[in-house]
Each structure stands twice: as C-alpha cells, then as structure tokens.
Amino acid sequence: MLTSLKQIYGFHFQNERRERLFLASLGFLVAFAIVRGITHLIRAGVGPFHNVSSGGLHIHHLVWGILLLLVVGYVWLIEQGTGSNLLSSVTAIAFGVGAALTLDEFALWLNLQDVYWTGPGRESIDAVVISAGLLSVGIWGGPFLREIALHVFRRQKPA
C-alpha cells in the first residue's frame, strides 16, 4: 500500500512548484490548528503547556513564526536547483508553519497590543486564515487528495 501511495503522490506532484505549494498549505493549516489548540489549553490551565517567557516578558508565537520564515527564506535562497528533494519538502512545510505562527498573531502587529482573545483579534483573522488554508490545500492538493480517498476506499471494499 505504501508503494501505491508513493506512486499516487509522485503522479500528482510531478511539478515541484505545485508540490511545494501543497506542502506549505498543509503545514500552514496543521500548525494553525495545533497552535490554536495549545493556546486554548494554556489559557484553561490544562496539560503540560505554558507560556514562554523571558524575564517576565511573554514571547508570543509570532516571534517563532517570523524567525522560522527568515530561516526558511535564507535556506531557499542558498538551495541549488529546483528539483523535488527532502530539503525542499521540509522547507516548504516549515514555510507554511512559520506563516501560520506569524499570521495567527496578525492582530498583535496591527494593534500593537495583545488583542488575541478579543473580538478584533480573533473573528476576522480566524475566518480568513482557516478559509485560506483550506482553499489552498484544496487547490494545490485536491486531485491528489481525491485519488488517495478513492484508493483507500477501494482497498476497504469486501472481495
């Protein structure tokens, strides 16, 4: 089954640009969902998660997103060739993750204050980010995801 999944993936992502856009979109959507879940757990005081602070200063995940975007940007600048390889795939996912971390706190950039848990910080940003993430994953990976679903459901049918 792993071989056929690799074949389906290879068929749908022969174009490196399409593959990178799909992986970045996937990284973006997954990271956004995870970061939102963790921030809710932190706020509720549940689990092992806690805010990151240095000397009483709260370090927002926006900082890590911006740093990740900068690192990925420099890696892409020095990467040779345009072929699909492990480095290009990992950096595409990392770009999506960094973008999610950064844009999830866009209201902080805009307001220059922490409005994360207020209406202005959540309503419009959440709607735009979730919609854009789902849309881009569907656009870049739609044919691939459809074939995977068909492949999985075909294998589950009784003989």
Domain extent at residue 111: 19-140
Strands 53-54 and 57-58: antiparallel
Q: Is 66 within a domain?
A: yes
Residue with tokens 């980010």: 129
Mean pLDDT over residues 25-29, rounded?
Answer: 92
Q: Is 124 within a domain?
A: yes
pLDDT above 90 covers a percentage of the chain that reads 24
Mean pLDDT of the chain: 82
At residue 111, the pLDDT reads 62
Among residues 62, 63, 39, the alpha carbon closest in space to that of 51 is found at: 39
Phi, psi of 7 (to 5 degrees): -65, -45
* Contact predicate 149/102, CB 8 Å: no
Q: How deeply is 66 buried, as exposed, middle or buried, from its count of CB atoms within 10 A (0-12, 13-18, 19+)?
A: middle
Q: What is the pLDDT of residues 130-150, one digit of tens each?
A: 778 887 888 888 888 889 888
123 pLDDT band, cuts 50/70/90, is low
Mean pLDDT over residues 64-86, rounded?
Answer: 79
Q: Is 70 within a domain?
A: yes
Say what the pTM is: 0.65
Is pLDDT of 34 > 90? yes
3-state secondary structure 83-139: CCCHHHHHHHHHHHHHHHHHHCCHHHHHHCCCCCCCHHHHHHHHHHHHHHHHHHHHH
Q: Is 92 within a domain?
A: yes
At residue 71, the pLDDT reads 86
82 pLDDT band, cuts 50/70/90, is low
Is pLDDT of 158 > 70? no
Is pLDDT of 46 > 90? yes
Can you give the length of the chain in residues? Answer: 159
* Contact predicate 2/74, CB 8 Å: no
The domain tally of the chain equals 1
